[in-house]
Structure 1
Amino acid sequence: MKFLFDFFPILLFFGAYHLEGIYVATAVAMVASVVQIAAGWLMWRKVERMHWVSAGLIVVFGGMTLILHNPLFIMWKPTILNWLFALVFLGSAFIGKKPLVQRMMEHIIQVPRAIWHRVNWAWVGFFVLSGVANILVAYQFSEEFWVNFKLFGLMGMTFVFMILQGLYLGLYAERPAEVEAETGPPDRDERP
Structure 2
Amino acid sequence: MKDVFARLGADFFSTILFIAIYLTTDNVLLATGVAIVGAIAQVIYSRVKGKELGYMTWASLGLVIVLGSATLLTHDPRFVLAKPAIGHFAIGVIMLKRGWMLRYTPSIVTQTVPEYVTFAGYAWAALCFLLAAGTIGVAMTGDMKLWTFYVTVVLVGAKIAAFAIQYIAFRSLVGSRLRAAAQRA
Contact kept? 1:10, 1:151, Cα under 8 Å = no
Is the helix fraction higher in 1 or 2? 2
Structure 1: runs of 5 or more not aligned: 94-98, 179-192
Q: Distance in 1 between matches of 2:141 and 2:130?
A: 16
User: Unaligned stretches of 5+ in structure 2?
Assistant: 179-185
- Map 1:172-191 onto structure 2 (within 5 A): 172-173=173-174
1:48 counterpart (51, 54, 63): 54
The match for 2:85 among 75, 79, 83 is 79
Q: Distance in 1 between matches of 2:163 and 2:107?
A: 14
Aligned to 2:100: 100
Q: Which residue number in structure 2 is paired with residue 155 of structure 1?
A: 156
- Does residue 12 (structure 1) correspond to residue 12 (structure 2)? The answer is no
* Cα distance in 2 between the residues matched to 1:34 and 1:109: 42
CA distance in 1, matches of 2:16, 2:107: 29
Per-residue deviation, residues 144-167 of structure 1 (Å, max 9, x unmatched): 221232222212222222222233
1:59 deviation in Å?
1.7
Partners of 1:108 and 1:12 in 2: how far apart?
38
1:141: Cα distance to partner? 6.5
Using a 3 Å threshold, how does the CA distance of structure 1 residues 14 and 109 change in structure 2: closer, same or farther? Answer: farther
Deviation at 1:33, TM superposition (A): 2.6
The alignment's TM-score, normalised by the length of structure 1, stands at 0.73
Q: Residue 181 of structure 2 corresponds to which residue in structure 1?
A: none
Q: Match for residue 34 of structure 2? A: 28
Q: Which amino acid aligns with 1:30?
A: I
CA pair 114-148 structure 1, distance change in 2 beyond 3 A: same
Match of 2:182 in 1: none
TM-score normalised according to structure 2 size: 0.75
Tell me if structure 1 keeps the 8 A contact 2:100–2:118.
no
Q: How many residues align?
A: 168
- Distance change in 2, residues 1:74/1:124 (3 Å): same
The residue that corresponds to 2:124 in the other structure is: 123
Partner of 2:134: 133
Give the aligned residue type for 2:56.
M
AA aligned to 1:11 is I
Distance 1:107 1:32, change over 3 A: farther
Contact kept in structure 2, 1:75 and 1:138, CA below 8 Å: yes
- In 2, are the aligned partners of 1:12 and 1:28 still within 8 Å (CA)? yes
